[in-house]
Amino acid sequence: MNFKDKTVVITGGNTGIGRELAIAFGMRKANVVVNFIVNEEAAVETISHIENLGGKAIKIFGDVTKLDDCKNIIDKSIKVFGKVDVLINNSGITRDNLIMRMSEDDFDKVIDVNLKGTWNMCKSVTRHMMKNRSGKIINISSVVGIMGNAGQSNYVASKAGIIGLTKSLAKEFGPRGITVNAVAPGFIETKMTEALPVEVRENYMKQIPLGKFGTPEDIANSCIFLASSRADYITGQVLSINGGMI
């Protein structure tokens, strides 16, 4: 699939799954916008990697919890590349704990980044995509947003909220030719999962019928499909990439 002359904005596009997404679209000739809030060095490295592959990419600082920052991300993307064709809301954080020990601040931070951040970015791109009567929005949810998980009430609530937001916006945006879908990854090989204790990793592995963690490339492949013309008649859906967990 080729995305030549298409502009793809990826929040949290400098590391982990976001970086894999940025490179995957860059390899397919898209104009890639790498949003970041920390670790600018990683954003620079990601852009350099894309450019070495013959693609075009820029980095834009922006805190997705701030609506003005989100508007700036979209406005700068349009100024440089002329339009935004695809928005991937990938930014996310965790602050895990049992609810009796979880602070209000930890709950609020996770909801602000994961759920409100997704809402902020969707709101910021709305007028542009509606004017163009086209666009693809892909929101990164999680398997736990579907099945729940002890010790992650804040994270699960945010990811379940993203699914509800996705379904609602699909109905709002559909008449203007804009699709809105969600991807719900299971356990993916990232620095976060690599840091888990061996016994925890083994316990999670037992829950996966395929017997292995997924890779960031697995998530990138699903987003490439949803962003392509092959998915033009798919909207309001949740694509689960979890090795059969649910």
Catalytic residue annotation: 155
Tally the C-alpha atoms within 13 A of residue 115's C-alpha that lie toward its C-beta.
Answer: 19
Whole-angstrom distance, CA of residue 54 vs CA of residue 26: 8
Q: What does DSSP say about strands 56-61 and 86-89: parallel, antiparallel, or unpaired?
A: unpaired
Report d(CA 165, CA 139) in Å as an integer: 9
Instruction: Tokens for 81, please give them.
Output: 């590349």
Q: What burial letters (b/e) apply to 74-106, b meaning 16+ CB within 10 Å? A: bebbbeebebbbbbbbbbbebbeeeeeebeeeb
- Is residue 227 within 8 Å of residue 32, measured between CB atoms? no
Element (H or E) spanning 190, and its range?
A: none
What's the CA gap between 155 and 159, in Å, rounded?
6
Residue 41 CA to residue 48 CA, distance in Å, equals 11
3-state secondary structure of 197: coil
Up-side HSE of residue 114: CA atoms within 13 Å toward CB?
A: 25
